[in-house]
Amino acid sequence: MKKNFLILIVGAMLFSCSQNQLDRTIFIPDENNRNLPEYSEWGYNSFGAEYERDYFLVSNQIVPCKILYGNDQMQFSLHGTIRHNQEMVLLFIFPSETMSSYADLLWLNNVEIDLAANDCSVKMLQYGIETTLDVLSGSLHFKRAQLLSIDDVINRVILSGVFEVNFLQNGFPTTISNGRFDMGITKNVFYSIP
C-alpha cells in the first residue's frame, strides 16, 4: 500500500514537472538574426518580430499568448516586451469559426488572415493605453495547428506561424515585420464567451 502511494506521488510530481516544462518559454535564436527566435513548430511558447529598429519579443515573466473567442470573432494576443523591457501587447482580431474549447483551434491550420480587411483589426497596448492601428497592409498566417497529446490525453494545441503589419503611427508609416510565433495553447490561456 505504501509503495503504491509512493509511486502515485512520484508519478504526479513527474507529470507536474513535465507540465511546467511544456509551459515555459524556450528561445532558440534564429541563425540569420540572433535577436529573434527561430521559426519552430514545437510549442516553445516563443515569439518575436522586428518593430522598426527595435524588437518585440517574448518575456519569461509574462504569459506570451492569450486567446479570446466571442461574437464570432477571435482575439489572438501576443504579450511581450519592447525597449528596455517595456511591456507591450499586440492584439489581432478577426472573424472565426465557433469555438468552445482550445481543441477547436485546429481550424486555423494553414489559415492566412488579411489584417487590412474590413472585418479585421489590430490593436496595440503600451503604457496602459490601447490603440487601434490604422493598418495599411499585413497578414497573420497560422502555418500549422496541431494537437499535442500526452498518454493519449489532449494536452494542448500548438499554433505556429508568421505575421507582419504595416500601419500609420502619428501620421507616419510604421512596420512590424519578420514576426514568428510558436505557442502551446491550453485551457489556461483560451477563453470562450458564449
Question: Structural domain boundaries of the chain?
Answer: 2-192
Confidence category of residue 10, pLDDT binned at 50, 70, 90: very low
Distances (CA, A) of 152 to 111, 147, 149: 27, 11, 5
For 84-130, the pLDDT digits (tens) are 889 999 999 999 999 999 999 999 999 999 999 999 999 999 999 99
**CA–CA separation, 84 and 138 (whole Å):** 26
Strands, E assignment, 71-171: 73-82, 86-95, 111-114, 121-126, 129-132, 134-150, 153-169
* pTM of the complete model: 0.88
